[in-house]
Amino acid sequence: MAENQYTEDNIRSLDWKEHIRLRPGMYIGKLGDGAASDDGIYILVKEVIDNCIDEFVMGNGRRIDVKVKDGKVSVRDFGRGIPLGKVVEVVSKMNTGGKYDSKAFKKSVGLNGVGTKAVNALSGHFMLYSVRDGQKKQATFSRGELIEESKIEPTTEANGTYVEFTPDETIFKKFNYKSIYLIKMFWNYCYLNRDLAIYFNGEKYQSKFGLKDLLEDNMDGDPLYPTIHLEGEDIEVAFTHGKTYGEDYYSFVNGQHTTQGGTHHSAFRESIAKVIRDFYNKNYDASDIRQSIVAAIAVKVVEPIFESQTKTKLGSHEIEPGGQSMRSFINDFLKDKLDNYLHRNPQVAEIIEKKIKQSERERKELTGIRKLARDRAKKSNLHNKKLRDCRVHLTDLKNERREETTLFITEGDSASGSITKSRDVNTQAVFSLRGKPLNCFGLTKKIVYENEEFNLLQAALDIEEDMDNLRYSKIVIATDADVDGMHIRLLLLTFFLQFFPDLVKRNHVYVLQTPLFRVRNKKKTIYCYSEDERRAAMDELGKNPEITRFKGLGEISPDEFKNFIGADIRLDPVILDKKEASIESILSYYMGKNTPERQDFIIDNLRVEKDLAEDLKDDLSEDDSSEEQLEKVS
């Protein structure tokens, strides 16, 4: 056997751009294609805008213009502009930036001078220019390599910085920006920076009342009482109680949306329960106090410590190095502001206590049922019969593949068998349904424990006690592309939205796309997901290609299926646009007493041949009940 050599030739030094491109996850988290809100292409946008926000916070520039078209992003702020002699360095030299001066950027979003350099290194095209006091300097890069640098020239443009970039398609495969994710990002910037105006493709976004606007714009239905909005130095809080299950939080640090929470989020949950207990002088259970709460908290921290480069979880235990603890800071604030508010608003205090007592009654009613349900889940041998589990889970905090973890929910032995044989056993699990799930619209959470399918699904996800125990990053509904499959899809979405809306709100729920057709000749095989793709494939392959119509997941061989849940997986994220409709109204539309409209939706959204869809429409009777019509089609 040849001896492994370890010499000077094995030692290699990477320059800044090579390191970023070799290990992009260290700088922007996961890559992705834009299907999820935390995919890398959105982090690139955020890194650029964060610099604009820092200028606004320092009192420079009240407007940011953002344009996104055909994968190209441009951002223009009207701050002070980058010092012209440093335009190239600030986007191409590590450990270079203005945020190391704590006097200028005491509570900045980013402090390590990496952000725009990562954008530069990961972009096929990157160009920026800075305008300062009638002078302009411009530079163009490709994959971090300087292509062109202009001399300082006179200009009549207003002060500020312009950045445009196109993500590198060799790194971000088939990426696509979704406007709904970008708009959500821009709104969060506006909620946290009142009177800042962001223009996205010409449309203006602006907030007047900060976190109060955030809650009221995003509430599911009407709140039980008007939003409580509290403000202090370096902290802002808004909260109310709604009518849905769970706890819904929006947390921010120095303007950064900490989607995974952190020490400030934990301190808020703990402190609000303590302050409310003290106010009523009753030892209410914390879960009853927080049940159905909708809250937002924003804090400003000196030199914040985050648990990752993407800054989604705060790790700082102090408001500033050597200063007051995060827990005592938030508790002192709420003890003062919230206690005073409740004393001044006895009607609100009465509503809150009534809600707490209602949650307490429901929790106690469910205690015995929960125990029986857990015992039933154990006896059913869940992990062998219903769930083909994977080796890695989302709760494995140190595992690099935890964000890849996926649970496919499918129906029938043939479909679940195909996925089980094709999956990556390390990160992909399969949960097999038995028949159609119950329509749980309008039912209480008691049904989750009494219905075997829902109880076992909840147990597989491990979300009964706390959403933070969720075992899979993606929950993928994998049903056939027919009326029956669409119905099962709606029933599962009803279950999630009714009882575990946070799964959808946190972008964990997806729908699997599988091909409808296989078009091939002796040289090439093309899988098609629509009629248009089928026609294009036939044109490409020429005369008399073989065409196979897949009518169900079970008809696709495991060898082929491996492609559709592997590198070529197509997932449609389930996205809630709360500005358009609340969860209550969504469920009422799709699962309530509006049969004709819902049936039109189901048929119009089926990815089947047009003539079949028309035949199905003709077969549906508008006089039948919802379930009867769906059973007739099935």
Residue 231 is predicted with a pLDDT of 94
Q: Which of 22-36, 207-221, 598-612 has the lowest mean pLDDT?
A: 598-612
**More confident of the two residues 376 and 365:** 365
The predicted model gives 351-372 an average pLDDT of 86
Q: Are residues 460 and 404 in the same domain?
A: yes
Is residue 370 in a domain?
A: no
The predicted model gives 590-610 an average pLDDT of 56
**More confident of the two residues 178 and 615:** 178
The predicted model gives 304-333 an average pLDDT of 82
Q: Can you read off the two tokens belonging to residue 368?
A: 């015995």
112 falls in which pLDDT band (50, 70, 90)? very low
Tell me which range, 80-89, 251-260, 450-459, 583-592, is most confidently predicted by mean pLDDT.
80-89
Q: Are residues 118 and 242 in the same domain?
A: no
Q: Can you read off the two tokens belonging to residue 369?
A: 């049922």
Q: What is the mean pLDDT of the chain?
A: 82
Is residue 599 scored above 70 in pLDDT? no
Q: Are residues 58 and 190 in the same domain?
A: yes
Is residue 271 in a domain?
A: yes
Is residue 369 in a domain?
A: no
Is residue 608 in a domain?
A: no
* CATH code of residue 582: 3.40.50.670
**More confident of the two residues 137 and 368:** 137
Task: Count the Cβ atoms, other than its own, within 10 Å of residue 226.
Answer: 13
Is residue 632 scored above 50 in pLDDT? no
**More confident of the two residues 7 and 131:** 131
Tell me which range, 460-474, 573-587, 606-620, is most confidently predicted by mean pLDDT.
460-474
* Total domain count, the chain: 4
* CATH code of residue 154: 3.30.565.10
Q: How many CA atoms lie within 13 A of 347 on its CB side?
A: 3
349 falls in which pLDDT band (50, 70, 90)? very high
Q: Are residues 342 and 413 in the same domain?
A: no
Collapse the DSSP code of 413 into the 3-class scheme (helix H, G, I; strand E, B; otherwise coil) and give the result.
helix
Domain boundary among 363, 389, 412: 363
Residue 331 is predicted with a pLDDT of 94
174 falls in which pLDDT band (50, 70, 90)? confident
Is residue 583 scored above 90 in pLDDT? no
Q: Are residues 424 and 501 in the same domain?
A: yes
Q: Are residues 441 and 573 in the same domain?
A: yes
Range of the domain at 38: 17-205
Q: Are residues 294 and 393 in the same domain?
A: no
> Cα dist. 67→37, 177, 189, 340, 376 in Å?
18, 11, 16, 45, 54
594 falls in which pLDDT band (50, 70, 90)? low
Q: Are residues 510 and 522 in the same domain?
A: no
Q: Are residues 193 and 221 in the same domain?
A: no
Is residue 629 in a domain?
A: no
Q: Are residues 195 and 261 in the same domain?
A: no
pTM of the model: 0.76
Percent with pLDDT over 90 in the chain: 38
Phi, psi of 180 (to 5 degrees): -65, -35
Give the integer Cα–Cα distance in Å for 374 and 372.
Answer: 6
Is residue 610 in a domain?
A: no
Q: What is the 3-state secondary structure (H, E, C) of 89-132?
A: HHHCCCCCCCCCCCCCCCCCCCCCCCHHHHHHHCEEEEEEEEEE
Is residue 625 scored above 60 in pLDDT? no
Residue 605 is predicted with a pLDDT of 53
* CATH code of residue 266: 3.30.230.10
Domain boundary among 363, 393, 424: 363
**More confident of the two residues 584 and 417:** 417
Q: Write the pLDDT tens digit of every residue in 464-481.
A: 777 878 999 999 999 887
Q: How many CA atoms lie within 13 A of 397 on its CB side?
A: 6
Residue 134 is predicted with a pLDDT of 94
Helices (H), 250-325: 263-280, 286-290
Q: Which of 70-79, 320-329, 463-472, 573-582 has the lowest mean pLDDT?
A: 573-582
Q: Which of 205-219, 224-238, 482-496 has the lowest mean pLDDT?
A: 482-496
Residue 466 is predicted with a pLDDT of 76
Q: Can you read off the two tokens belonging to residue 44?
A: 């690139």
The predicted model gives 540-565 an average pLDDT of 82
Is residue 4 in a domain?
A: no
324 falls in which pLDDT band (50, 70, 90)? confident
Residue 501 neighbours by CB under 8 Å, 6+ apart? 220, 244, 245, 246, 248, 583
Is residue 370 scored above 80 in pLDDT? no
> Cα dist. 382→101, 389, 432, 476, 519 in Å?
56, 10, 10, 19, 39
Is residue 98 scored above 70 in pLDDT? no
Q: Write the pLDDT tens digit of every residue in 411-448.
A: 877 777 888 888 999 999 999 888 788 888 878 888 88
**More confident of the two residues 136 and 498:** 136
Give the integer Cα–Cα distance in Å for 172 and 630.
Answer: 41
> Cα dist. 295→63, 214, 270, 276, 353 in Å?
28, 9, 13, 15, 17
Q: Are residues 356 and 420 in the same domain?
A: no
The predicted model gives 279-302 an average pLDDT of 92
Q: What is the 3-state secondary structure (H, E, C) of 212-262?
A: HHHHHHHCCCCCCCCCEEEEECCEEEEEEECCCCCCEEEEEECCEECCCCE
The predicted model gives 147-171 an average pLDDT of 94
Is residue 368 in a domain?
A: no
Percent with pLDDT over 70 in the chain: 83
Q: Are residues 190 and 314 in the same domain?
A: no
Residue 626 is predicted with a pLDDT of 39
